[in-house]
């Protein structure tokens, strides 16, 4: 077996990227991301794209600085399905944590759906610790193309970034 090594970089997601991010969710989800890019222009959030040399995003995710005071909250993290379990999610989270630290914040938080053990295992491996539970919900497209409310329970997890990123 031959290992393939991809050189990855993280940059701001831009509106022109959305056309190539259909793998991350429905058209309704992409509309939401477009709205988040407007918030990014105001400095309220960072929305990142992880790209190979082609410049086409293979992972995306946001950091919200207004969800909780003094915290960067990671959300909408997604890796192209064909490239999951290749370290790209770890790369994305590291880039997001560096953005949080660059704002002088020392804590990263996220919520993970309780029926997503693979994602929770990744976050735990990266040093995130569960500290609570919280319901979450958002609009999604139903199979008949109508909009319905999706409801779920999330485990809240956090990581102290103090000093942890100095070498990163």
Mean pLDDT of the residues in the chain: 93
For the record, the structure tokens of 167 come out as 């070498």
pLDDT in tens, 93-120: 999 999 999 999 999 999 999 999 999 9
The CATH number linked to 81 is 3.40.630.30
pLDDT in tens, 118-163: 999 999 999 999 999 999 999 988 889 899 999 999 999 999 998 6
Tally the domains of the chain: 1
Within a domain: 168: no
Is the separation of the CB atoms in 29 and 150 below 8 Å? no
Within a domain: 4: no
The yes-or-no verdict on residue 84 having pLDDT over 60 is yes
For the record, the structure tokens of 164 come out as 């942890």
Taking alpha carbons only, the member of 95, 112, 104, 28 closest to residue 60 is 95
Within a domain: 91: yes
Within a domain: 165: no
Supply the pTM of this predicted model: 0.91
Q: Considering the chain, what percentage of its residues have pLDDT values greater than 90?
A: 88
7/4 Cα distance (integer angstroms): 10
Domain that holds residue 95: 9-160
Within a domain: 167: no
48/63 Cα distance (integer angstroms): 8
């Amino acid at each position: 077996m031959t290992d393939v090594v991809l050189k990855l970089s993280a940059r701001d997601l831009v509106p022109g990227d959305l056309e190539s991010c259909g793998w991350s969710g429905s058209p309704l989800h992409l509309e939401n991301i477009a709205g988040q890019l407007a918030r990014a222009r105001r400095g309220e959030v960072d929305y990142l794209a992880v790209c190979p040399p082609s410049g086409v995003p293979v992972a995306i995710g946001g950091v919200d600085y207004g969800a909780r005071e003094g915290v960067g909250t990671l959300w909408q993290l997604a890796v192209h399905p064909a490239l999951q379990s290749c370290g790209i999610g770890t790369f994305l989270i590291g880039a997001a944590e560096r953005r949080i630290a660059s704002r002088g914040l020392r804590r990263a938080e996220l919520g993970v759906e309780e029926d997503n053990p693979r994602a929770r295992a990744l976050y735990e491996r990266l040093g995130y610790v569960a500290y609570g539970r919280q319901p979450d919900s958002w609009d999604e497209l139903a199979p008949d193309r109508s909009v319905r409310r999706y409801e779920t329970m999330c485990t809240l997890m956090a990581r102290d970034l103090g000093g942890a990123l100095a070498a990163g």
